[in-house]
Amino acid sequence: MGTASDAPAAAAAEEEEQQQQQPKLLQRTLVFTYGTLKRGFSNHPLLQDLAQRGDASFVGAAVTASRLPLVCGPYRVPFLLNLPGEEGADRVAGEVYAVTPRGLARLDELEGVSRAHYERLPIAVDLAEGGCARVDAVAYYAHRDYAAELWRRSGEKGYPEYSHAVADGYIRRKDRPQGQTFLEQIRIFVSSQS
């Protein structure tokens, strides 16, 4: 059994361990997911894999602080548009994850950030748990080069949530035509009639 003199040493060791853990927590970025990365959707296995590797953890359900357009593009792919306050837009429901830099790199790859499919930008969201705390996060928005065109193509009407009903008809990347890039598919989609 320990003595009273062991208590300060134990407390110091515990404090040191907490300080070592803190940088790991501080290195995480909060990511707001609103589409296929959410639980129950086709790209969620990536977040599950990241969680198993310690590179992501679920924080909670959330809703955007601002009204933002959420639309579907080609193949029912969801796009959050960085067009705050547009008439026909809603506060969008989704999920927040705390992600390490390594996990963020994998998400960037999935979202085609280097290929101008999506861009990772700041977003304020309200967490559903804990008194609806507002937190700063990032989200993958439709790239600015075609966001306004997607909004026009959608009839300037968005969705409050990418639900299974909204996603009905979604086609996975591997099942889409392989002769065109995703940007070409988006350009064809926005130039076609609804």
Q: CA-to-CA distance for 52 and 103, rounded, in angstroms?
A: 11
DSSP string, 31-88: EEE-STTSTTSTTHHHHHHHHHTTSEEEEEEEEEEEEE-EEE-GGG-EEE-S-TT-TT
Q: Which of 15, 87, 111, 156 is catalytic?
A: 111
Is 111 part of the annotated catalytic residue set? yes
Query: Half-sphere exposure of 103 toward its Cβ, with a 13 Å CA cutoff?
Result: 24
Q: Residues with catalytic annotation?
A: 111
